[in-house]
Amino acid sequence: TQHFIVIGNPIAHSKSPEIHTQFAAQAGIEISYQRQYCPDDAASFTAVIEAFFQGGGVGANVTVPFKQVAYNCCVARGGLSEHAKVAGAVNTLLLNKTLLKNGASIAEAIYGDNTDGQGLVNHITSLDWPLKDARVALIGAGGAARGVILPLIEAGISDLTLANRTLSKATNLVNDLSAASETIAKQQIKTCTTDQLSGAFDIIINATSIGLSGDTLPLSDELSGHYAYDMMYGRTLPFLQHFAERGAQTSDGYGMLIGQAALSFERWTGQAIDVVKVTEILQTH
Ligand code: ATR
């Protein structure tokens, strides 16, 4: 049996154990996948992670509020993937086998990846929404937005506008990311405030934390999109309702959740997952 955990605080609500249990059933391998609570400080996080891998654990997912802590932890140990580096955050931990072979201890070999952004791209692709040459508007400039920018650009979009309530956070994010990645610098991302976002886009993505809270985004009547995606999931997302009423196709972020999990699972086990099939099974539960 291969052992996995998801670490967060709070953690009781995490759907990762049921998702990964379905993946393992599909791949025909035996796993245990547990929710791991951790006090909200870096020292506790590091202690929990080290104990997990030293005890023979194969992989861990990291969720709120530890994604940046996990990033710092890996910088000082087994290293980071390009996506984790640019995102400034880690959602997937594993051991760096090369370092282990070269004599590093288990604690020194803890390596971080980030599959969130590619999970979004894979889900959008599975919906048959065209990303290649798409004009994309991304709303939000926090950790969630940061994590998806490089994968969206790598998917071949033609044009990216980043909108945020606080304009300075959007421009700072673009400056940061452009310094961190040549691919991003070349894209020349435009920025504006959310209420100034206007014009016709192919895909409009909500990466703010507004979700199911009572608040709504101040969206202009001059803003239109063929497709609208909310990275949150739930029954009635006001952002999606707004665009559905205007004829757009819409999706919540449940498929992104499954998509990022599938990429973690593939990274850990080498087994490819049929995400569409697993999503169908999970939705009928
Ligand atoms: P996350 O990691 O989920 O991205 P975050 O880093 O706290 O969380 O970022 C939250 C994002 O949602 C920000 O873009 C924030 O806008 P500001 O930068 O202006 O704060 C956005 N957000 C949160 N609540 C919002 C609201 N009520 N209206 C508009 N934007 C909101």
What would the 3-class secondary structure string for the chain be? CEEEEEEECCCCCCCHHHHHHHHHHHHCCCEEEEEEECCCCHHHHHHHHHHHHHCCCCEEEECCCCHHHHHHHHHCCCCECHHHHHHCCCCEEEECHHHHHCCCCCHHHEEEECCHHHHHHHHHHHCCCCCCCCEEEEECCCHHHHHHHHHHHHCCCCEEEEEECCHHHHHHHHHHHHHHCHHHHHHCCEEEEHHHCCEEEEEEEECCCCCCCCCCCCCCCCEEEEEEEECCCCCCCHHHHHHHCCCCEEECCHHHHHHHHHHHHHHHHCCCCCHHHHHHHHHCC
Tens-digit pLDDT profile for the chain (285 aa)? Answer: 999 999 999 999 999 999 999 999 999 999 999 999 999 999 999 999 999 999 999 999 999 999 999 999 999 899 999 999 999 999 999 999 999 999 999 999 999 999 999 999 999 999 999 999 999 999 999 999 999 999 999 999 999 999 999 999 999 999 999 999 999 999 999 999 999 999 999 999 999 999 767 789 999 999 999 999 999 998 789 999 999 999 999 999 999 999 999 999 999 999 999 999 999 999 887
Measured from the CB, is residue 169 less than 6 Å from ligand 1? Answer: yes
ipTM over 0.95: yes
Measured from the CB, is residue 188 less than 6 Å from ligand 1? Answer: no
Q: What pLDDT is attached to residue 222?
A: 97
Q: What pLDDT is attached to residue 65?
A: 96
Predicted model pTM = 0.96
Q: What pLDDT is attached to residue 139?
A: 98
- Write down the catalytic residue from 67, 101, 132, 186: 67
Name the closest-CA residue to atom 9, ligand 1: 142
Measured from the CB, is residue 18 less than 6 Å from ligand 1? Answer: no
The residue to mutate among 68, 149, 209, having the most atoms of ligand 1 within 8 angstroms of its beta carbon, is: 209
Enumerate domains of the chain plus CATH numbers: 2-114+257-283 (3.40.50.10860), 120-251 (3.40.50.720)
The answer to whether 202 and 130 have CB atoms below 8 angstroms apart is yes
Instruction: For residue 67, indicate whether it is catalytic.
Output: yes
